[in-house]
């Protein structure tokens, strides 16, 4: 087995790391305080080619492997989880279904500009009454003339306030369970589409989140993304990637919180010595570092698996579960190492603690993931 990264991957990671240190980390606190979509940094990420990293050159992408993509997400998340989440939406969930199941015209008009940062895409599945229970959604898509009419209400939609296009989950057949779910391309400006209330959040505050209202929105027939009835199956193909990518987000945040803890523990003097010299504090650092390294091994292994063409949903679920719970553990310990200063808004420890909570929801909550992992293991994987 060879666990080493290629020279190209190491070089690329270093470039993203430097960009993060120079442009993202210094802006992270202000982004958090303002709680607004960071248009300028978004454009800077696009200019660096980050949005097209995992897409083929035919649409202006870089055709990089998934592990390289995860390295980028990890580095960006070390600077700001909010910004990294925005990038993740733009490069995976918000564009993938349109890229794979849209028409050539959609790819030219929406995906290519999105990869240049000129258009913003997002995905709208969750509803006020249906989150984990995606099969229960009540947004309906009904045939009408040469297309479909969509009606319903979506909740928690990342970047909806600024998005140009949405991959919206709707039921085409309410009696068919998961096979009745499909995704539709809906575009800003279509009559009946409106962005509702913006949600004030605990963390990842610069990643705007809001309701989305579909009131008899007509979309042409070719806006059905994929064959009718295949929406849930098509989502499954990227869910594996979403879970591993979320693990990479967790690595970045965990590393930032660990680094801050080490720095602080060496600077802070109590009883005449740096607190890092006390075993109780040193053991915290050791535990944080050990769990983070275990999470990193899982994320890289799962990403590498995807690059080998394998789709191991169980491994992806384990990866998301372990890495995001680890990030929450580290962020919690970080605020303890900081003592009361971990409670002060002027230090970053509290932001890591708040932002880490976000990792626990999208792509499956820890409770749902444990249930799925147990079921998969019982079934012999």
Binding site for ligand FAD (CB under 6 A): 122-126, 131-133, 156-158, 201, 204, 209, 358, 361-362, 365, 367-368, 371
The CB-of-134 to ligand FAD minimum distance in angstroms stands at 8
The CB-of-274 to ligand FAD minimum distance in angstroms stands at 37
User: 149 by DSSP, 3-state: which?
Assistant: strand
Identify which of residues 50 and 358 has a Cβ nearer to ligand FAD in the complex.
358
Pick the closest to residue 152 from 169, 176, 174, 131 (CA basis): 169
Pick the closest to residue 316 from 260, 262, 240, 225 (CA basis): 240
The CB-of-127 to ligand FAD minimum distance in angstroms stands at 8
The CB-of-209 to ligand FAD minimum distance in angstroms stands at 5
Residue pair 354/360 in contact (Cβ under 8 Å)? The answer is no
Containing H/E element for 225? strand 224-225
Identify which of residues 312 and 355 has a Cβ nearer to ligand FAD in the complex.
355
Residue pair 166/123 in contact (Cβ under 8 Å)? The answer is yes
Question: Could you give the CA distance from residue 297 to residue 314 in angstroms, rounded to a whole number?
Answer: 16
Helix %, strand %, coil % for the chain, to 5? Answer: 60, 15, 25
The CB-of-89 to ligand FAD minimum distance in angstroms stands at 6
The two tokens of residue 68 are 């390289």
Identify which of residues 133 and 142 has a Cβ nearer to ligand FAD in the complex.
133
The CB-of-193 to ligand FAD minimum distance in angstroms stands at 15
User: 327 by DSSP, 3-state: which?
Assistant: helix
The CB-of-10 to ligand FAD minimum distance in angstroms stands at 32
Distance spanning both ends of the chain, measured CA to CA: 22
Identify which of residues 277 and 371 has a Cβ nearer to ligand FAD in the complex.
371
Identify which of residues 209 and 324 has a Cβ nearer to ligand FAD in the complex.
209
Identify which of residues 313 and 371 has a Cβ nearer to ligand FAD in the complex.
371
The two tokens of residue 26 are 């210094």
Question: Could you give the CA distance from residue 83 to residue 241 in angstroms, rounded to a whole number?
Answer: 19
Identify which of residues 205 and 284 has a Cβ nearer to ligand FAD in the complex.
205
Q: Which residue's Cβ has the minimum distance to ligand FAD?
A: 131
Question: Could you give the CA distance from residue 142 to residue 147 in angstroms, rounded to a whole number?
Answer: 8
């Amino acid at each position: 087995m060879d666990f080493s990264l290629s020279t190209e991957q190491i070089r690329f990671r270093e470039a993203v790391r430097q960009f993060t240190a120079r442009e993202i980390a210094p802006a992270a606190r202000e982004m958090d305080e303002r709680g607004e979509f960071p248009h300028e940094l978004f454009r800077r990420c696009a200019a660096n080619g980050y949005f097209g990293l995992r897409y083929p050159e035919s649409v202006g992408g870089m055709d990089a492997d998934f592990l390289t993509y995860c390295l980028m997400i990890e580095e960006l998340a070390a600077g700001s989880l909010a910004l990294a989440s925005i990038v993740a939406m733009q490069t995976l969930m918000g564009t993938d279904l349109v890229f794979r199941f849209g028409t050539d015209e959609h790819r030219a008009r929406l995906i290519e500009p999105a990869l240049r940062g000129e258009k913003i895409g997002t995905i709208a599945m969750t509803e006020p009454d249906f989150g984990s229970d995606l099969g229960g959604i009540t947004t309906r898509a009904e045939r009408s003339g040469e297309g479909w009419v969509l009606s319903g209400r979506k909740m928690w939609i990342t970047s909806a306030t600024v998005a140009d296009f949405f991959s919206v989950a709707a039921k085409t057949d309410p009696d068919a369970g998961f096979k009745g779910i499909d995704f539709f391309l809906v575009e800003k400006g279509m009559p009946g589409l409106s962005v509702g209330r913006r949600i004030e959040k605990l963390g990842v505050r610069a990643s705007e989140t809001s309701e989305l209202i579909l009131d008899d929105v007509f979309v042409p027939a070719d806006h059905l993304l994929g064959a009718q009835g295949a929406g849930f199956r098509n989502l499954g193909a990227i869910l594996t990637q979403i879970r591993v990518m979320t693990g990479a987000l967790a690595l970045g945040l965990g590393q930032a919180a660990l680094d801050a803890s080490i720095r602080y523990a060496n600077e802070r003097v109590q009883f005449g010595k740096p607190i890092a010299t006390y075993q109780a504090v040193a053991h915290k650092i050791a535990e944080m570092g050990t769990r983070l390294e275990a999470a990193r091994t899982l994320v890289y292994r799962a990403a590498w698996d995807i690059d080998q063409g394998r789709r191991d949903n169980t491994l992806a679920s384990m990866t998301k579960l372990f890495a995001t719970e680890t990030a929450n553990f580290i962020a919690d310990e970080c605020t303890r190492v900081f003592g009361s200063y971990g409670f002060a808004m002027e230090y970053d420890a509290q932001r890591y603690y708040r932002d880490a909570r976000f990792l626990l929801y999208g792509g499956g909550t820890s409770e749902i993931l444990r249930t799925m992992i147990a079921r998969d293991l019982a079934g012999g994987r």
